[in-house]
Amino acid sequence: MEPENKSFSTNTESTHTALGHLERSIMEVLWSRGECSVREVAADLPKPLAYTTVMTTLDRLYKKNLLRRRKTDRAFRYLPRLSRNDWERQRADSLLAGFLTGSCSRSDLLISCLVEAIGEHNQTLLDELAKKIREKRKELDRGREK
């Protein structure tokens, strides 16, 4: 994602919100095209929608802090705050944090399912997970020593 342009305004709410089907479709247009007007987004959607529907959805995405926007003449132009990968990473982090801050049994279930799924599909990835765990433990130990 390109650095924030000062001419774009942003909202300060969380970006960890789940997206509905229409919101996801609109984000896909913006992730692939970059900065767009409401008309440009509407033209690229898989099915035709009313201009006002697209405009309202873009405003909601802005209020969810997923978009930046700037005024040009009488209309706004919208740009994603995060790349698709960064947004998906934040969503995954948020989901995992929710499981890990829950009861001990939920955490155990999550970890067990993750290790089982990785082990069944990709031995190399399981080895990489073990390596990352060792590295994180070393990092945490160094932090405690200070």
Q: Is residue 134 included in any domain, yes or no?
A: yes
Q: Is residue 140 included in any domain, yes or no?
A: yes
Instruction: Give the residue numbers spanning the domain of 106.
Output: 102-145
* Averaged confidence pLDDT in the chain: 85
Residues 30 and 78 in one domain: yes
Q: Is residue 33 included in any domain, yes or no?
A: yes
How do residues 78-98 score in pLDDT, each as one tens digit? Answer: 999 999 999 999 988 888 787
Q: Which pTM does this prediction carry? A: 0.66
Number of structural domains the chain divides into: 2
How do residues 10-40 score in pLDDT, each as one tens digit? Answer: 444 444 567 899 999 999 999 999 999 999 9
Q: Is residue 96 included in any domain, yes or no?
A: no
Residues 113 and 78 in one domain: no
- Region 66-81: what's the mean pLDDT? 94
Helix (H, G, I), strand (E, B) or coil at 79: strand
* Domain harbouring 42, CATH code: 1.10.10.10
> 78: which residues sit within 8 A by CB, 6+ positions away?
30, 35, 36, 37, 38, 41, 58, 61, 62, 67, 68, 69
Residues 48 and 79 in one domain: yes
